[in-house]
Amino acid sequence: MNDTNGNNAEIENVEAVAVALAEWWHASARDLPWRFGRATPWGVLVSEVMSQQTQMSRVVPYWNDWMERWPDAAALAGAAKSDVITAWGRLGYPRRALRLQECARVVASDYGNELPQTYDELLALPGIGDYTASAVMSFAFGERIAVVDTNIRRVLSRVFLGVESLGGAASPAERALAKQVLPQDSVSKCRRFDRSSVVWNQSVMELGAIVCTAKSPLCEACPVSSRCVFLRDGRPGLGERRTRPRQRFQGTDRQVRGLVLNALRNLPEGEIAVDRKSLERLWDDHIQLDRCIASLDEDGLIEILPHADVRLPV
């Protein structure tokens, strides 16, 4: 019973779309260093965590340096937290860096330094949610599993339903659609990055990232434009804002937290702490500053020293 979405009659283009997308993928996919079987499963996981809310183009140099320095989970597990936070640099959401190291510690100690190969075990790892667990199952292990992220939601909704996907969490209907159109894998294709479900997930996501973008999709350059319900219907609601207003950044705690962390990352060689005086120069509102220092401490991103100086954790 697949009644979660009432659109089964609508979905009949899938084979043709899959063929066109696969061709486009092989001709136009970005040559990211963790693609095409060049990275270990752990390397794929690292790339996915770094890409949570951060554009791929910004991730590439960080990933290269990171994997050279900490090639596997055990290496990262043994690193100093301060080094992990510093290496994370300006990727944003630095708690991801800490969770990635926690993840590495679990993989190293509970799984013998080899990434577990089931969705449920991956999902249980720190910092790994539904998207990343699915992505690793598909991209690293070649398993047939529906991957649902913001790009895939947008592309599938446009191509097959002709409407913009709504903001917020993925709906049951969107998940059902993703499962419904996921290609079967033929038995003969054994190389994991050649499996049709894997190419499907990667190419749909890639299309959403570089062609079928949120605000101004490049329909002229789209390999499935002739089969896209959204384009056929005149792209109804394109550019219409469906997400709730995002929190502004200027003046928020996130900005202040970023300033404190940035000061700690950029300390001269040999210095490990920022003193209270310097902290107070970073932000005029000392109430907010103290709130942010406290929250950074709670997150394990800094340690508070005597005299209210701060440092990165060991």
Partner DNA sequence: CTCCAGTTTT
Partner DNA sequence: AAAACGGGAG
Residue range at the interface with DNA (CB under 7 A); choices 7-15, 77-85, 185-193, 238-246 = 238-246
Among 81, 175, 192, 254, binds DNA (CB under 7 A): 254
The span from the CA of 45 to the CA of 49, in Å, is: 6
Contact call for residue 309 and DNA (CB under 7 A): no
| CB-CB neighbours of 19 under 10 Å | 14
Contact call for residue 25 and DNA (CB under 7 A): no
Contact call for residue 64 and DNA (CB under 7 A): no
State which of positions 117-146 bind DNA (CB under 7 A). 126-133, 135
The span from the CA of 50 to the CA of 69, in Å, is: 15
Contact call for residue 262 and DNA (CB under 7 A): yes
The span from the CA of 85 to the CA of 301, in Å, is: 8
Min dist. Cβ of residue 121 to DNA (A): 13
Min dist. Cβ of residue 12 to DNA (A): 27
Contact call for residue 307 and DNA (CB under 7 A): no
Contact call for residue 169 and DNA (CB under 7 A): yes
Contact call for residue 196 and DNA (CB under 7 A): no
Q: Contact 164/237 with Cβ under 8 angstroms?
A: yes
Contact call for residue 217 and DNA (CB under 7 A): no
Q: Contact 254/286 with Cβ under 8 angstroms?
A: no
| Assigned token pair, 153 | 């939601």
**CA-CA-CA-CA dihedral for 128, 133, 134, 137, to nearest 10:** 150
Contact call for residue 105 and DNA (CB under 7 A): no
Q: From the candidates 10, 12, 23, 48, which is the catalytic residue?
A: 48
The span from the CA of 119 to the CA of 130, in Å, is: 8
Min dist. Cβ of residue 225 to DNA (A): 19
Residue range at the interface with DNA (CB under 7 A); choices 13-21, 218-226, 227-235, 241-249 = 241-249
Contact call for residue 249 and DNA (CB under 7 A): yes
Min dist. Cβ of residue 100 to DNA (A): 10
First-to-last alpha carbon distance for the chain, in angstroms, is 53
Q: Contact 264/312 with Cβ under 8 angstroms?
A: yes
State which of positions 274-293 bind DNA (CB under 7 A). none
Give the nearer residue to DNA in terms of CB position, either 15 or 110: 110
* Catalytic residue check, 48: yes
Q: Supply the residues annotated as catalytic.
A: 48
What are the residues binding DNA (CB under 7 A)? 32, 35, 47-48, 51-56, 58, 90-95, 99, 126-133, 135, 149-151, 154, 168-169, 202, 205-206, 208-209, 213-215, 241-249, 252-255, 257-259, 261-262, 295
